[in-house]
Each structure stands twice: as C-alpha cells, then as structure tokens.
Chains A and B, each alone.
With several copies, the nearest count.
Chain A
C-alpha cells in the first residue's frame, strides 16, 4: 500500500439490520465526494461497501449484531485514496477456501449466491481480508 498520511478519519457503527448497509454507503459517499472522486468511482465504492456490510450481516453470526466501519481519507497533500475497513466480531471464515464463482455453474446450480467478494475485488483497487475466530475485517481502498 502507498505510504500516505491520514487526512480524515470517520467511524460508523451499524446494527446488523435490513437496509443499514445504505447508511454505510451514504457515509462513504460523503467522504468520496469530499475527495472529489468521480461519480462513477463513488458508485463503485458504494456498492463494495454494501456488499461488505451484508456479508457481515448475513454470515458473521456476531453476538453484538454490530458492524464497525472506518473510513479513512489518505493523502500527502491532497486526498489520494479512500480506505474503508469493515469489521465484525463474528465467527470468521477462511477467505482462501472460498471458490471464485463461475457464471456457467451458477446458472445451473441450486445456490446462485456467492458473488459478494468477487464484486468487492472487482470494484475496489485493493482488498485485504483478515478473518479468524475473532471475526472478519475487510480492508479495501480506492484511489481517487
């Protein structure tokens, strides 16, 4: 990751309840607009945030039913990168064992799900997933 200073840091704590991912996507929009990111890139960030949130909502089984999100604007003189960290304290999973979904298979499979991580990786510039018994942390970022 490029070395740059934190210019702004905002944290958001969301309950794992329907539609709350939209709150996260709006907060992300505010920071991305502050950075003067293009509206297409802002849209990509929004979608990635939504996917990471619903993954925590659906899969984490976290007892506290909360997701913590940290938005950081990084840059040296100007905002260069928006880094978003989405953290749950759930059961975790092994990211390396998740198979990349293939549309030909999904079209005939009973379970058509399994696209979230693929979408996040496709829309963001950098994605790291740390997961274990303490929960899951997705760190993703987008260059301006």
Chain B
C-alpha cells in the first residue's frame, strides 16, 4: 500500500552506486540503510547514492542517511550523493550535511571524482 521505495545497486568494488526510486521516508531510509550495510559488509567503502528517481524525502528518511554517513566515517569510507533535486540539495545544505557527504551534479562527475 504505502508507496515503497525501490532500491537497486550497481557494484563496482570498492565503489557501489545505489539508485532510489520514490519517497525516502522512514521505510525508504531503512531500505537504503539495509542495502548500504550489506555493501559495507561486502567491502564497498565508497557509496554513491543516486537520487535521480527521488523527488521527495522527509527528515526521518534523512536521519537514517546520517546514520549511514556515521558508519562510513567509522570505517574511513565515504558516502556521496548525486542527482539531487534543488530542494533536496538545499535541505542538505541547511542541515550542514554537505560538509560530510559530497554532492555531485550527476553520476558521471561523481564517478570521475570518486574513483581517482
């Protein structure tokens, strides 16, 4: 019933790209976290979250993303974002999240920067 977030993954060790489609609310955030923790276990230390298919997020969903960032900092890995709507990007700046997770315009730019 509740519109579920679709999450797909493209593994390119040590990097992985996570694609989302839909609303990142409580459940959506948890779904992303589940996928991210699996990837971390599988030794992916750089995660790129491509939010092209997500037009709306809420602060509960974002809080779960902060958990993932914390985890990445612990393992010396990193989480980056690309394809954010202007509002999601603005929100990340309001929160100061942009200091701890890089934001790229699109996947090409992100991969260029993250794989050097």
Flag if B1 contacts A78 (CB, 8 Å).
yes
Count of chain A residues near B, Cβ 8 A? 34
Q: Which residues of B contact A51 (CB under 8 A)?
A: 58-59
Flag if B100 contacts A103 (CB, 8 Å).
yes
Take A108-B70, A122-B91 as given contacts and tell me if A46 and B60 are in contact as well, using a CB distance cutoff of 8 Å: no
Q: Which residues of A contact B60 (CB under 8 A)?
A: 54, 113
Q: Using a CB-CB cutoff of 8 Å, which residues 51-87 of chain B contact chain A?
A: 55-60, 62-64, 66-67, 69-70, 73, 85-87
CA distance A35 to B63 in the complex (A): 27
Tally A-B pairs: CB < 8 A: 83
A21 closest partner in B (C-beta)? B58
Main secondary structure of the interface of B (DSSP, over half): helix
Flag if A50 contacts B70 (CB, 8 Å).
no
Main secondary structure of the interface of A (DSSP, over half): helix
Flag if B1 contacts A102 (CB, 8 Å).
no
Flag if A123 contacts B87 (CB, 8 Å).
yes
Flag if A115 contacts B1 (CB, 8 Å).
no
Q: Which residues of B contact A36 (CB under 8 A)?
A: 1, 3
B55 closest partner in A (C-beta)? A43
Flag if A119 contacts B66 (CB, 8 Å).
no
Q: Which residues of B contact A40 (CB under 8 A)?
A: 86-87
Flag if A115 contacts B63 (CB, 8 Å).
yes
Name A's B-contacting residues (CB within 8 A): 18-19, 21-22, 25, 33-36, 40, 43-44, 46-47, 50-51, 54, 78-79, 101-104, 106-108, 112-113, 115-116, 118-119, 122-123
